[in-house]
Amino acid sequence: MKAIHLTAYGNPAQNLRMVEVPEPHAPSADEALVRMEYAPIDYSDLLLANGVYFLNPQLPSVIGGEGAGIVEAIGPGVTGVQIGDRVTIPFRTATWAERVLAPAQGLFVVPPSVDAKTASMLNINPTTAVLLLDEFVELKPKDWIVLNAANSQVARCLIAIAKSRDLKVMGIVRRPELLNEIEKLGVDFAGVESPELLKQIRSATGGKPITLGLDAVGGPSTATITSALSPGAHLVSYAWLSGLPIHVSQGDLIGKRLNIHGFWMYYEEYLPKMRAALTEATKVVASGKLTLPITTTYKPSQIKEAVENSQRGGKVLLDFNHPN
């Protein structure tokens, strides 16, 4: 069968290749065999391929952090899924292959109202959004949160899920031409990083506290968020799109007694909570309140072009229905 191997750490476009590998064996007890339909190329997949992620499999190796497919066979003792179910694939089961064996208890059955392409993108970004909203501050309806990179894939999920909880969302971007896009996503305030932003934020909130800041950028963008946070608030860094260390002014850190956290959804304490988070996120998707747009799909044989497109910022899916 066809699969995509990472052959070396470094340049993903050069080091990811479609190869022929043996078919998986029949599922053992508590396993399921899944025929993959779609798998996205995520930011975390590119970090892994570059050798700068928190996981470093021995190479060559199939990679791929999420995806969806159809259960083709189940092993003895499996009761939670049935042959024919569309499922998402659990953490630590690499998805970039035509068929994968996975622990059945980690599979999540996708409701029929969610299509296969959307299903392939449920496990990481929407689930991350729920965990970010749950784990640091006890938020109540009408509470404010602030986030940057508000046009990003995770931010789209954060905005939709926050609005489903009746939270107020402040979205910050770095370019004014993005304001219209994020306003359409439903933020309560959209702003561009600038010297005037803090004054605009205070006017928009009426001085109400902002207790949760979600930083995906790092560098000076982090300081923009912390300037808007209230005393005792929590800043959570969950990505580093700028590649820069976070900047936090000593005045905000000391004077406001801010709580600063790093977040990775696969920390051990979050693993037992992921199914509930995924369930909530999927309900928001199924309701139509959250859409997960894609730029294009590629066949696995086009992995070089797919990676290059993804590196330019597009949301790319690998189509394992048509591997060649």
**pLDDT tens-digit map of 42-74:** 999 999 999 999 889 999 999 999 999 999 999
Least confident of 140-144, 177-181, 221-225, 310-314: 310-314
What residues are paired with 4 via a beta bridge? Answer: 18
CB 146, CB 212: distance < 8 Å: yes
242/246 Cα distance (integer angstroms):
10
Q: Which CATH number is associated with domain 125-262?
A: 3.40.50.720
Q: What is the CA radius of gyration of the chain?
A: 20
Question: Is the confidence at residue 313, as pLDDT, over 90?
Answer: no
Q: How confident is the model at residue 157 (pLDDT cuts 50, 70, 90)?
A: very high
Question: Is the confidence at residue 323, as pLDDT, over 80?
Answer: no
Long-range CB contacts (< 8 A, 24+ apart) of 44-50? 44/124, 45/12, 46/12, 46/307, 46/310, 46/311, 48/6, 49/6, 49/9, 49/10, 49/12, 49/15, 49/16, 49/307, 50/9, 50/10, 50/11, 50/12
The set of residues, in sequence order, having a beta carbon less than 8 Å from that of 184 and lying 6+ positions away, is: none
CA angle 309, 310, 313 (to 5 degrees): 100
Q: Which of 46, 47, 96, 37 is nearest to 68 (CA)?
A: 37
The percent of residues above 70 in pLDDT, for the chain, comes to 100
pLDDT in tens, 214-264: 999 999 999 999 999 999 999 999 998 998 999 999 999 999 999 999 999
Q: Which of 139, 90, 135 is nearest to 262 (CA)?
A: 135
Mean pLDDT of 7-26: 96
pLDDT greater at residue 52 or residue 146? 146
Domain 2-122+292-319 has CATH 3.90.180.10: yes
- pLDDT score at 324: 79
Mean pLDDT of 7-21: 96
The percent of residues above 90 in pLDDT, for the chain, comes to 95
DSSP code at position 257:
T
Tell me the backbone φ, ψ of residue 130, rounded to 5 degrees.
-60, -45
Q: How confident is the model at residue 12 (pLDDT cuts 50, 70, 90)?
A: very high
Question: Is the confidence at residue 133, as pLDDT, over 80?
Answer: yes
Could you tell me the CA-to-CA distances from 42 to 182, 313, 317 in Å, in that order?
Answer: 21, 10, 9
Mean pLDDT of 182-200: 93
Mean pLDDT of 208-219: 97
How much of the chain is helix, strand and coil, in % rounded to 5?
A: 30, 25, 45
41/309 Cα distance (integer angstroms):
10
Q: How far apart are the first and last CA of the chain?
A: 11
Span(s) in the chain for CATH 3.40.50.720: 125-262
Q: Could you tell me the two tokens for 214?
A: 């979600």
Mean pLDDT of 193-211: 93
95/29 Cα distance (integer angstroms):
20
Q: How confident is the model at residue 159 (pLDDT cuts 50, 70, 90)?
A: very high
Average of per-residue pLDDT values in the chain: 96
Q: How confident is the model at residue 203 (pLDDT cuts 50, 70, 90)?
A: very high
- pLDDT score at 225: 96
Span(s) in the chain for CATH 3.90.180.10: 2-122+292-319
- pLDDT score at 314: 80
